[in-house]
Chains A and B, each alone.
Chain A
Amino acid sequence: MKSIRRCQHIISFIIVMFIIGMAVLVLKIQREAPFYMMNSDHHELGFVYDRKGDVLFDGTGENQYPDNYFIDIGNIIGDDSGQMNNTLVAQNIEKLNNYSFSGGLTSNGRASIYTTMDHEANRAVYNAFGYQEGCVVAYNYATGDILVSTSLPSIDVTKGYDAIDSFKPGTLMSKTLYKTIPGSTQKVSTVISALEIMGAEKLFSKSFTCTGQYINRTGLNIDCHNIYGHGTLNIQQAVENSCNPFFAQLIEDDDLPLDRLIEQYRKLGYAVNGDEDKYFDIDGIQCERASTNLTDKYEFTTQWGCIGQGDTIVSPMQLMMWQSAIANGTGRMTMPHLIDHCVNVNGTVTDTAKVEYSEQLFSPDTAATMKQILLTNGANHYAYSISGYNVGVKSGTAQVDEGANENSLLVGFVDDPAFPVAFCILIEKKNEGFLTTEQIAQVLLDNLRADF
């Protein structure tokens, strides 16, 4: 009867809606169960390995390792204690948990993360610093594999955090990810912008004179590090000599309009004049993006901002990534990654890394010209200090702590298809010791070379 059927239809409708809701719930639970377990207090974590199978993190906590075995990677690989959030383990703990919805939590599962790091090379670089502080990051710019990332001071996570009050500042963070004053390495960005805006021919035709200092159009001094001046220079010589007055005049030049400069800086990835802060994501780890203020190209802070001080701050990781855009000749950065592949609790390989590129930052012609400039700089001035490699480099010295200290930086790449490494080296408070960035670069490249 129709009236009874109507009642039955309503009952069916209600039950069907409920069953749909339950189906949605079961699917949601199945998909998100590893995330829920990550938030519980019980974990059965696996291992993190380097590219050769060496242990970088032991989630079981049951094995013995030599003293300070993990100190060089402490603040980039991290652990599950919750003390260091911006580390590989903290951001990927779900992948390390030996859990699956059908199998539950097991203590002898095969969950692990295989990273691209070279622990041996990383340790060698760490040891080379001695008692000084700073950071080094190096990666394969053909594949994006991060090979070395160490930051001093650091921590061996197996030792715990009882002495946390006496840790030196910066122990629990990897300085490669955070913005710092770039010093003259900033000139790389300025030259790239100039090449893009005015073209190689015009840029190479420019010549300016350096007398040790330059009084800019607003009446303030731009000092050169060479008080006697470099004389008349072209762009290649200005880069090799890292001449500040040349660059100040270049910036004031009419062929380099400020709005186009700002546009190109934004394309490179700077947050200019109060743009929203953004981050790179490297397998869950956040790396800060550069920022600067460029307001008036005749004005002191803006000019210094393009030269290497002022309001400009960049992370070593991003400095290294720009080198890859130059070295691979395309004008697109190779995006770095730390994880090569993961293995889940059952032993199946998941999450294999792929090569990824950024959007076009500058044209391939600019890349080629810039590459030549840096290679010439490397050949002319660094062939002895970084021997055995065809490198393109730019050095920098940054005034920090309001002029009280100086940091030494070196960015560069190796021009060899069989050894495509880009790097960035930072030594903090360089005057407190005798270490140079070239020495670190030699140790870095020698140790990496052994495995290519």
Chain B
Amino acid sequence: MNSMNLILCAVAATALDLCTLILIITAYREKRSATKNWDWVANSMELAEQGMTYDLGCDEILIGRHASADIRLPDLSVSRYHAMLTVSNGRWTITDIGSKSGVFVNGNLVHEAVLHENDIIKLGNRRLVFRKRRDERVR
């Protein structure tokens, strides 16, 4: 293994390393555009209740009492799988998936309803506001 061959191999390996690094950095940069795209899809909405806000990060969000719900409400009046939030065509819909106490949007018992800004959702004894996200995303 003479030194010329060694140098060429090392150079090729370094070039590949650099390339991989650049592509990882690219992937991180693109995360921002992906987040921006999601903000556009989800209309930058969030759910808020007294003192807590819940981010809406994916297109099917389970709300309920059990431990692996995306939005966990540890209140006995809330069922284990209470409601599901879905988004499509830019609109958020809340669906009741079999709760004991029902889902109320602006005071009306619904099975499935499209949500608009500042709607108030009542699940058992908990009250959530569906509103535009307050904090600015860091650019």
Q: Contact string, A1-13, partner B, CB cutoff 8 A, digits 1/0?
A: 1111010000000
Binds A, one of B43-51, B57-65, B106-114, B126-134: B57-65
Q: Is the CB of B70 within 8 A of A1?
A: yes
Contacts of B34-80 to chain A: CB distance below 8 A: 55, 57-58, 60-62, 68-70
Q: Which listed residue (A1, A6, A104) contacts B1, Cβ 8 A?
A: A104
Chain A residues within an 8 Å CB radius of B62 = 3
Measured CA separation A103–B1 after assembly (Å): 7
Chain A residues within an 8 Å CB radius of B1 = 103-104
The chain B residue sitting closest to A105, CB to CB, is: B1
Chain B residues within an 8 Å CB radius of A3 = 58, 60, 62, 68, 70
| Chain B CB within 10 A, most for which of A2, A6, A104 | A2
Q: Which listed residue (A2, A103, A104) contacts B70, Cβ 8 A?
A: A2
A180 to chain B, nearest CB (A): 50
Q: Which listed residue (A1, A103, A104) contacts B58, Cβ 8 A?
A: A1
B125 to chain A, nearest CB (A): 23
Measured CA separation A403–B70 after assembly (Å): 95
Measured CA separation A4–B55 after assembly (Å): 13
Main DSSP-derived SS at the A contact region: helix
Q: Interface residues of A, CB < 8 Å — how many?
A: 7
Chain A residues within an 8 Å CB radius of B60 = 3
The chain B residue sitting closest to A104, CB to CB, is: B1
Chain A residues within an 8 Å CB radius of B55 = 1
B6 to chain A, nearest CB (A): 10
The chain B residue sitting closest to A3, CB to CB, is: B70
A97 to chain B, nearest CB (A): 16
Chain B residues within an 8 Å CB radius of A104 = 1
Chain B interface size range = 10 to 19
The chain B residue sitting closest to A1, CB to CB, is: B57
A239 to chain B, nearest CB (A): 65
| Chain B CB within 10 A, most for which of A3, A103, A104 | A3
A11 to chain B, nearest CB (A): 14
Chain B residues within an 8 Å CB radius of A4 = 57-58
Measured CA separation A1–B72 after assembly (Å): 11
Chain B residues within an 8 Å CB radius of A103 = 1
Contacts of A2-40 to chain B: CB distance below 8 A: 2-4, 6
Q: Contact string, B1-13, partner A, CB cutoff 8 A, digits 1/0?
A: 1000000000000
| Chain B CB within 10 A, most for which of A1, A3, A104 | A1
B42 to chain A, nearest CB (A): 12
Measured CA separation A310–B61 after assembly (Å): 90
Measured CA separation A3–B72 after assembly (Å): 12
| Chain A CB within 10 A, most for which of B1, B60, B69 | B1
The chain A residue sitting closest to B67, CB to CB, is: A2
Measured CA separation A1–B84 after assembly (Å): 14
Measured CA separation A6–B67 after assembly (Å): 13
B24 to chain A, nearest CB (A): 14
Chain B residues within an 8 Å CB radius of A1 = 55, 57-58, 61, 70
Measured CA separation A4–B69 after assembly (Å): 11
B46 to chain A, nearest CB (A): 13
Chain A residues within an 8 Å CB radius of B70 = 1-3
A152 to chain B, nearest CB (A): 45
Measured CA separation A426–B57 after assembly (Å): 89
Chain A residues within an 8 Å CB radius of B69 = 2
Measured CA separation A103–B68 after assembly (Å): 54
A441 to chain B, nearest CB (A): 53
The chain A residue sitting closest to B54, CB to CB, is: A1
Chain A residues within an 8 Å CB radius of B68 = 2-3, 6
Chain A residues within an 8 Å CB radius of B57 = 1, 4
A120 to chain B, nearest CB (A): 40
Measured CA separation A3–B56 after assembly (Å): 12
B86 to chain A, nearest CB (A): 13
Chain B residues within an 8 Å CB radius of A2 = 68-70
B50 to chain A, nearest CB (A): 22
Measured CA separation A2–B61 after assembly (Å): 9
Q: Contact string, B89-129, partner A, CB cutoff 8 A, digits 1/0?
A: 00000000000000000000000000000000000000000
Contacts of A100-118 to chain B: CB distance below 8 A: 103-104
B71 to chain A, nearest CB (A): 9
B10 to chain A, nearest CB (A): 13
A10 to chain B, nearest CB (A): 14
Q: Report, nearest first, the 6 A-B pairs whose CB atoms are least far apart.
A: A1-B57, A1-B58, A104-B1, A1-B70, A2-B70, A4-B58
User: What are 11 sample pairs from A and B whose C-beta atoms fall under 8 A apart?
Assistant: A1-B57, A1-B70, A2-B69, A2-B70, A3-B58, A3-B62, A3-B68, A3-B70, A4-B57, A103-B1, A104-B1
Q: Tell me the B residues contacting A by CB distance below 8 Å.
A: 1, 55, 57-58, 60-62, 68-70
- Can you add 13 more A-B contacts, CB < 8 Å, to A1-B57, A1-B70, A3-B70? A1-B55, A1-B58, A1-B61, A2-B68, A2-B69, A2-B70, A3-B58, A3-B60, A3-B62, A4-B57, A6-B68, A103-B1, A104-B1
